[in-house]
């Protein structure tokens, strides 16, 4: 759906803003909101949440005057990537080809975080690597310190996700204990039932995000191990060279 068509539909929906959107309106907002922000509307059983989503969509489209261009890459649900020293975080909603290829160039194992990759992604990453190589022909990789800093950030995200999951679990248990029995199939669900359903949906999203963040953290830990091995080689060579120089010097002294 293009920008002009979306704007026209939003204008048609404006008359229903105060009284509440129809089922078709909500389905439209669900799709456009996800396309723009890369996440679902927080509480889909809440009329005010759809009004808020409607305004968020209008504000963003008014600002950019176009629908954002979609990347050829798509991250897994809940996956977030970032770079050392940068506050900007990327999800599927704001991901670009360049950002995805830069991230994959740092560590090909990061491909595990993507739900969709173009068929020629390896060639694209190789081209990105060659284009961004320094004067020595080597592409700069993150240092061990940079990787550890990002790992620290991922650990904090994991802790936040686990806390959010625990809160939702506790609230679901509280609501289920408070109701006498589940509604019959032909009975309209109560507000508590709707809240439980929405919480379970949010819980599923939180678990997906936790899994994606944990996987990214584990990939970074592997990168740190590789960096340690790479650094160990030159140190061993330097130590052997120093030992050889010392031995040669001692031999010359003995000969004199």
Listed residue (31, 43, 42, 38) closest to 6, CA to CA: 31
pLDDT in tens, 138-154: 445 556 666 677 677 77
What is the structure's pLDDT at 256?
Answer: 54
Looking at residue 81, the DSSP 8-state letter turns out to be E
- Residue 82 near residue 150, CB atoms below 8 Å: yes
Q: How would you classify residue 107: left for phi > 0, otherwise alpha for psi between -120 and 50, otherwise beta? A: beta
Q: How far apart are CA 199 and CA 205, in angstroms?
A: 10
pLDDT in tens, 156-203: 777 877 887 888 788 777 777 766 555 555 555 667 777 777 777 777
| Model pTM score | 0.39
pLDDT in tens, 7-61: 999 999 999 988 889 999 999 999 888 777 766 787 777 778 888 889 888 888 8
pLDDT in tens, 59-115: 888 877 887 777 889 988 878 888 776 667 788 877 888 889 989 988 888 898 899
Angle between helices 3-13 and 23-37 (to 10 degrees): 140
Ordered by start, the domain boundaries in the chain are 3-64, 74-131, 144-220
Mean of pLDDT over the chain = 75
| 251 pLDDT higher than 80 | no
Q: How would you classify residue 181: left for phi > 0, otherwise alpha for psi between -120 and 50, otherwise beta? A: beta
């Amino acid at each position: 759906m293009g920008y002009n068509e979306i704007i026209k539909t939003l204008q048609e929906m404006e008359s229903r803003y105060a009284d509440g959107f129809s089922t078709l309106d909500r389905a439209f907002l669900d799709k456009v909101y996800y396309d723009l922000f890369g996440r679902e509307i927080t509480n889909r059983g809440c009329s005010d949440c759809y009004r808020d989503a409607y305004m968020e969509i209008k504000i963003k489209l008014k600002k950019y005057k176009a629908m954002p261009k979609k990347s050829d890459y798509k991250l897994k649900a809940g996956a977030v990537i970032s770079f050392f020293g940068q506050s900007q975080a990327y999800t599927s909603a704001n991901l670009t080809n360049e950002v995805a290829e830069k991230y994959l160039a740092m560590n090909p194992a990061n491909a595990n975080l993507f739900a969709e990759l173009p068929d020629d992604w390896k060639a694209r990453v190789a081209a990105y690597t060659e284009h961004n190589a320094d004067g020595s022909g080597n592409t700069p990789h993150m240092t061990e310190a940079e990787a550890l800093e990002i790992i620290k950030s991922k650990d904090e995200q994991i802790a936040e996700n686990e806390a959010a999951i625990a809160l939702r679990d506790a609230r679901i248990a509280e609501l289920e204990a408070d109701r006498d029995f589940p509604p019959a199939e032909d009975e309209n669900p109560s507000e508590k039932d709707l809240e439980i359903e929405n919480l379970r949906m949010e819980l599923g999203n939180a678990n997906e995000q936790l899994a994606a963040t944990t996987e990214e953290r584990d990939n970074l830990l592997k990168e740190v191990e590789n960096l340690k091995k790479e650094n160990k080689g030159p140190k061993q060579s330097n130590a052997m060279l120093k030992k050889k120089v010392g031995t040669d010097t001692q031999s010359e002294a003995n000969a004199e």
